[in-house]
Amino acid sequence: MSVLRVGSGTLRVAPEDLKPILSQAGLSLSPPLLEDYSKLLSGLDAAIASLPDDKPGIPCPDLEKYPRTDIHVPKDTEGGGWAIKVTAKCTTPKNDLLQGRTVALKDNMAFAGVPCTNGTDMVEWVPEIDATVATRIMDAGGIILGKAACENSCCEGMSATAITGQVHNPYADGYNAGGSSSGSGRLVAIGSVDLAIGCDQGGSIRIPASSCGIVGLKPTCGLVPYTGILSLDAHLDHVGPMTKNVRDCALLLEAIAGPDGWDDRQPPFGLEGERLKFVEPVGIVAARETSKMLEGMKIGILKEGFDIAGMDPNVERSVKSAIEKFASLGATVSEVSVPLHKEAPTVWMCAVQLAGTRQGILGDLQGRKQLHFTDRAELVGSQLTQAQFDKLGPGASNFYLGSLWVQEKYGAKLHGKCMNLMKAISDAYDKALEECDVLVMPTLPSPPPRLPDPGALGESETPLKFLSRTPGMISNTAPFDNSGHPALSLPVGFVPAVEDASVRLPTGLQIVGRKYHDVDCLKVAAAWEKSFDWKTL
């Protein structure tokens, strides 16, 4: 490596400064080498000190064009749905795609001047920028009403860990609303907002969508820019719409999709024109004669999607009954097998440890070409203090300890092995989707469970007990974060709660399409939704 600058004069890095760092790394240098490297590192330190301010290049919003008012923590969180309220819109929208529609942002998204908790009080952070999707919502005439609650560090599927409090299922207080986009799911379901944004790394859009009886789409990886949103792991990060119905899902997707020039998850070409049109195709399908809505569509029932841990027989019956109805809409329905689907959740669990902690908890996005939150990274530090660790929920603390273990015992080889396996799994789905247009399976294997008693976390509700409440929850969702395929959860009926059969809770059908063919998921869902009322099934 060439050296641009060598320290001269007073050393910025003295040999005595370097010795403890070397010792911690298990290294030792002779006095002459220590002197040489002190001078070389002094040049590096001087270069760092000379860097210009990065703020001029950061896309801070024009607050006259995108004004925001009435920023406050609400007394009434509406069942735990809200983290913070605000009213924001564009004074000169570019189009009227979302004219007058109200929207909630997940509370892991930057919105200038509005606190961003990420579901935890590990740090107090008020961003200076707006996430790209927030700007696009306002540019389309949408009105942002606030930040929806999300689970602690976005690492939970149970809606019991947000710093703002538990989020209750819209159909039964005391039951899981799903996570980590828990507040987004609840607020849409109860009608507090028309639309919401969720983020999904293991199922965090689709889990609350299924639990709350709404539509949730994890788009193809890179279709929607993740710029300005706190990451968990860049290769898993997805952001997408959560809505009452399929047309609204298509509408919000059309408003937020497309490259923004920042996010390296997005392809540098190929995302333009008709590939970003979703509303009209869905409308065309819905307008067709019912018996021909899906004529020519081939739907594959993923065999392994029903053979997972925790599969509840009522969920299985409900989803299979919903799938049978596709034939009456003109579709060809047949079973397909992707054996690697059963391995995918294990690969996800092993892969996310190192990157999920480094990127998601510490905010260290090294190696990524995207917008970095340097101000927040400074608040967190290079490793957690005991006080910061104690602020994490069970899922996030488990990730952090897992990363320490994996780093010490396995190193980079484990992550590399998982990345290679992910490609093989993705290829297996691609092969199955050569024979059919979409794959279908249950979104979740079981009904939403009862929430633990408020305040029980860390006491009677131990991390092991809490994380054991939802066996198999991500078995059908996490694989498609790995692979990047679009995956939509559609409500298809009610099933009895495990703890109390008199409580009936929503269940969802997951529809998975070819990459960048998100519109096929929307078409299939729209046809089913138009033809059947899930609330009566």
> Among all residues, which ones are annotated catalytic?
106, 180, 204
Query: Which is it for the CA torsion 410, 415, 417, 418, positive or negative?
Result: positive
Question: Collapsing DSSP states into helix, strand and coil, what is residue 45?
Answer: helix
Helices (H), 475-532: 478-483, 518-531
In a 10 Å sphere around its CB, with 0-12 CB exposed, 13-18 middle and 19+ buried, how is residue 264 labelled?
A: middle
How far apart are alpha carbons 276 and 354 in whole angstroms? 34
How far apart are alpha carbons 243 and 191 in whole angstroms? 10
Contacts of 195 by beta carbon, 8 Å cutoff, 6+ apart: 98, 101, 102, 103, 104, 142, 188, 241, 242, 243, 248, 251, 252
Contacts of 136 by beta carbon, 8 Å cutoff, 6+ apart: 255, 256
Q: Do residues 446 and 310 touch, judged by C-beta distance below 8 A?
A: yes
Q: For residue 198, give the nearest of 109, 120, 129, 262 by alpha carbon.
A: 109
Contacts of 418 by beta carbon, 8 Å cutoff, 6+ apart: 347, 350, 351
126 alpha-carbon distance from chain centroid:
20
Contacts of 330 by beta carbon, 8 Å cutoff, 6+ apart: 291, 292, 293, 294, 295, 296, 297
DSSP state of 51: P
How far, CA to CA in Å, does 233 sit from each of 268, 326, 349, 367? 20, 36, 12, 12
Question: Collapsing DSSP states into helix, strand and coil, what is residue 169?
Answer: strand
Q: Which two three-digit tokens encode residue 233? A: 């792991």
Q: Which two three-digit tokens encode residue 390? A: 């104690």
Q: Which two three-digit tokens encode residue 111? A: 């919105």
Give yes or no for a cis peptide into 180 (omega within 30° of 0).
yes
Helices (H), 172-270: 182-189, 206-212, 246-256
How far apart are alpha carbons 411 and 402 in whole angstroms? 12
Contacts of 468 by beta carbon, 8 Å cutoff, 6+ apart: none
